[in-house]
Amino acid sequence: MAGASYVARRFPLRIGRSSVAELRLEEDGVWDEHLLLGLDPKGICLKVQPNALARVNGQPASEIYLRNGDTIDLGVVSLRFWLSRVSQSKLRFREALSWGAIVLVSLGQIALLYWLLR
């Protein structure tokens, strides 16, 4: 599975050998429910199940918030955590309208000041 990618569609995301795990890994050293990725206001939290071993960026971890590019090692498996790019819909027209409105309001304020100070 080297080079394969997995897109998490919902959280919490279970990683392990179990048939209920969303990301199923059959490699040596992976437990039935090895890791749990959860989403909270601080970010994506990785929780290692009790008695399971995992390393994040080479450091032992039991609970840690992940950052873009972190490497997660469990058993003989090495995973890279990436946040996907955010696709932005084409908003150029709306942005141009917004900037146009800002310019018109600013010009109106300048004209009003000029009229009041005459």
Residue-level pLDDT at 107: 97
Residue-level pLDDT at 82: 86
Residue 77 has pLDDT above 70, yes or no: yes
pTM above 0.85, yes or no: no
DSSP 8-42: --SSSEEEESSTT-SEE--STT--TT-EEEEEETT
Give the model confidence (pLDDT) of 2-40 as tens digits.
677 788 888 899 999 988 999 998 888 898 889 999 998
Over residues 69-94, mean pLDDT: 84
Give the model confidence (pLDDT) of 65-75 as tens digits.
999 889 999 98
For residue 114, what are its two tokens?
């000029």
End-to-end CA distance of the chain: 76
